[in-house]
Homo-oligomer: A and B are copies of this chain.
Amino acid sequence: MSVREIRGGAASADGFLAGSATAGLRSRPLPDLALLACADGLASAAAVFTTNRFAAAPIEIARRHLASNGGRIRAVVANAGCANAGTGKAGLQAALRMAAAAAAKLGCKPEEVLPASTGLIGSRLRIDRIEAALAGMKLRRGSPGGAAAARAILTTDTRPKQAAVESAGFVVGGMAKGSGMIHPQMATMLGFVTTDADASPQLLQQVLHHAVERSFNQVSVDGDASTNDMVVLLASGASGVHASADDLADAVTAVSRSLAMQIAADGEGARSRIDVTVTGAPDDAAARKIARGVAASSLVKAAVHGGDPNWGRIASAAGQVADELDPGRLRIGIGEQFVFEGSPCDYDERRASRALRARVVPLTLDLGIGDGTGEAWGCDLSAEYVAINSEYRT
């Protein structure tokens, strides 16, 4: 079944509401609190969490709540401006209170809410402000609700990230945030995807795993995996459609992929999004690994920034992570030209340099070994990235 892109976000699927509030967790008075909830009853849910061992308090609580309810939850509540990480027992208490406050508003149990946080590590969550803001928050269906929530979860992002598709009688929509501390291995950012298809938590977990492998895990901004990352998939069943596993996987992957690409394009200090496509690999997983390696290479990113068609860095980045690679069969493309075909080949350097300075920079690698394909997304490395990250707190 084909997937059709539509305008929308996390509250576009039937049965979901979303909203935002300004709790006052940031230095400036901007929306910093989002709630995404089932209109009534519980949704099937699945989630992937950061693999970072210094995981934040909300990660621990969300993991616990999801498990204790057998994958049925009512809502996700997320704040920006404070990661609630490295905050010890007080942090766990704050995350629990955050879930409880959302539950009180919705009339459900605290264990039916997953908390999420993003922002500075180590500062204490002002939970009283969150409780007050939640009490007054308005929730809406459709695009207005989704857009408000998408804006409230941003940190150093320069724009909200939303995507939605229609498929075989059901809708999938989502929102995400993240522009720094972003690196493969689930270990990316916050992503919340909803659907009105009817699906069990088990099916959702499979679908989410499939989608994340091909989207969020293929984005790298700076090689750092965060303490707070999670992606949640919720299914309300409101459409009454029992989607097939394949249809649902395709639609959720399409939304996740769009969100991942938006994250790469909005990388801290980035001018260009880098789209790496690998073909001819032994298998798809090998192709994805190599694509990710190229997208994550600081030297490739700096070369793109400088408009330098330095294919040697692309080859080296691939060689660094590849389990199998024959330089004599490798072909590398920048934009629409091959720049290396088993050995250096003639190409138009000016044209290659122009391609590297575009807003979207396609880099292609054909390994000439098998049928595996994969994609990954990154961004150029600019002096501004360094500036942003040297002055985050001070």
Contact = CB atoms under 8 A, between A and B. Distances in A.
A88 to B, nearest CB: 4
A290 B225 CA distance: 14
A226 to B, nearest CB: 6
Interface stretch (A17-25, A127-135, A140-148, A317-325): A317-325
Interface centre among A318, A330, A391 (most CB of B within 10 A): A391
Given A54-B315, A88-B328, A390 B308 contact: yes
A302 interface: yes
Interface stretch (A79-87, A99-107, A254-262): A79-87
A310 B87 contact: no
A51 B224 CA distance: 22
A302 B279 CA distance: 34
B344 A306 contact: no
A316 B224 contact: yes
A298 B389 contact: yes
Interface stretch (A31-39, A171-179, A378-386): A378-386
Contact of A312 (B85, B222, B328): B85
A316 B121 contact: yes
A127 to B, nearest CB: 16
Contact of A316 (B54, B296, B307): B54
A272 interface: no
B391 A298 contact: no
Contacts of A385: 302, 386
Contacts of A391: 306, 308
A387 interface: yes
A2 interface: no
Secondary structure type dominating chain A contacts = loop
B383 A86 contact: no
Contact of A394 (B88, B306, B389): B306
A124 B344 CA distance: 9
Contacts of A121: 310-313, 315-316
A227 B226 CA distance: 30
Contacts of A343: 86-88, 90
Given A312-B121, A344-B122, A320 B52 contact: yes
A318 B225 CA distance: 10
A280 interface: no
Contacts of A187: 320
Nearest to A54: B319
A299 to B, nearest CB: 5
A319 B382 CA distance: 26
A53 interface: yes
15 contacts: A53-B325, A86-B340, A87-B344, A121-B310, A121-B313, A121-B316, A122-B340, A181-B299, A181-B316, A224-B299, A302-B389, A302-B390, A308-B392, A381-B386, A383-B387
Interface of A: 51-55, 83, 85-88, 90, 120-124, 180-181, 187, 222-227, 296-299, 302-303, 305-308, 310-313, 315-320, 322-325, 327-328, 330, 340, 342-344, 353, 381-383, 385-387, 389-394
Q: Which 6 A-B pairs have the closest CB atoms?
A: A121-B312, A306-B390, A54-B319, A302-B389, A88-B343, A383-B383
